[in-house]
């Protein structure tokens, strides 16, 4: 009489062990899924920052084939294409992102950025205009300033540049862009001031140093500014200053600056040599 009871207990125990086994397998599977998510997130961060941009493009393209509807992967592919300077491909990649149901205003700003990089200023302006004014970010206002510059809406550009500067702790790039805007308008002294401010914020920004020399040259000031510079940078700035002097009609001064650039450069400065030969031959 004890056998049926024993059989029931044995079967119950077997079912319990089976349930425990299944529960344990599910727990392990979930744990691995969690680890995979963390690993994937870390790998995506690496791909977007320190990896070779073209390798990042390949990685996100491959991953998207497996999970084509994920907006984070679409977004990362678009960002990687911009990093790789593949702007023609970046525009349709960002278009797919902005057409996704989970699109954000930051995505729309990045789309406008890609359009500007690809030279599509009118569409970029339309995209920015469609973003609510309550979305106030540094990148949005920097792009708004660039679009206003392209339209020669100078007062709007100044307002946007000033706002953008207040939204970042690293304003050197904005100051450089604003300075170039002033330079293109012929406001050379204000351009010189802004380039100087940009260099004080970031003394490694060679573009600002070169623009500063252009602003000084436009005022027929052919002395190098007192800013930190390497020997190679000094030679390049002398070259820029020499060409600026020639443009102003001060040809002999320009020749002297080009000779100084050639003598200053620690290696052979082919570009300056060609410029000087062309002037002497002409």
Model confidence pLDDT, tens digit, residues 116-160: 999 999 999 999 999 999 999 999 999 999 999 999 999 999 999
Give the domain extent around 61.
43-100
Cβ 225 vs Cβ 195: under 8 Å: no
Q: What's the CA gap between 167 and 85, in Å, rounded?
A: 26
Task: Tokens for 24, please give them.
Answer: 């344990």
Which residue is associated with the tokens 């995979």?
A: 36
Q: Is residue 106 part of a domain?
A: no
Q: Is residue 57 part of a domain?
A: yes
Q: What's the CA gap between 239 and 163, in Å, rounded?
A: 35
Q: Is residue 135 part of a domain?
A: no
pTM attached to this predicted model:
0.80
Count of structural domains, the chain: 1
Q: Is residue 221 part of a domain?
A: no
- List pLDDT tens digits, range 86-128: 999 999 999 999 999 999 999 999 999 999 999 999 999 999 9
Q: Is residue 249 part of a domain?
A: no
Q: Is residue 15 part of a domain?
A: no
Q: Is residue 75 part of a domain?
A: yes
Distance, CA of 156 to chain centre: 23
Q: What is the mean pLDDT of the chain?
A: 89
Q: Is residue 152 part of a domain?
A: no
């Amino acid at each position: 009489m004890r056998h049926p009871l024993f059989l029931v207990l044995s079967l119950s125990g077997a079912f319990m062990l089976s349930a425990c086994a299944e529960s344990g397998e599910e727990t392990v599977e979930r744990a691995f899924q969690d680890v995979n998510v963390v690993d994937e997130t870390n790998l995506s961060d690496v791909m977007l920052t320190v990896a070779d941009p073209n390798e990042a493009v390949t990685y996100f393209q491959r991953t998207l084939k497996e999970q084509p509807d994920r907006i984070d992967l679409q977004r990362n592919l678009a960002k990687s294409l911009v990093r790789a300077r593949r702007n023609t491909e970046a525009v349709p990649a960002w278009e797919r992102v902005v057409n996704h149901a989970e699109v954000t205003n930051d995505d729309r700003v990045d789309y406008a950025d890609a359009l500007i990089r690809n030279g599509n200023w009118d569409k970029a302006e339309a995209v920015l205009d469609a973003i609510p004014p309550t979305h106030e970010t540094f990148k949005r206002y920097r792009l708004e300033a660039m679009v206003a510059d392209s339209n020669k809406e100078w007062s709007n550009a100044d307002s946007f540049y000033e706002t953008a500067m207040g939204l970042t702790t690293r304003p050197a790039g904005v100051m450089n862009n604003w300075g170039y805007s002033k330079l293109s308008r012929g406001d050379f002294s204000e351009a010189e001031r802004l380039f100087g401010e940009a260099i004080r914020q970031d003394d490694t920004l060679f573009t600002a140093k070169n623009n500063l020399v252009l602003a000084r040259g436009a005022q027929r000031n052919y002395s190098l500014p007192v800013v930190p510079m390497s020997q190679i940078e000094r030679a390049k700035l002398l070259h820029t200053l020499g060409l600026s002097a020639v443009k102003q009609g001060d040809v002999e001064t320009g020749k002297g600056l080009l000779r100084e650039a050639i003598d200053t450069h620690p290696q052979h400065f082919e570009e300056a040599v060609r410029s000087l030969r062309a002037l002497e031959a002409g």
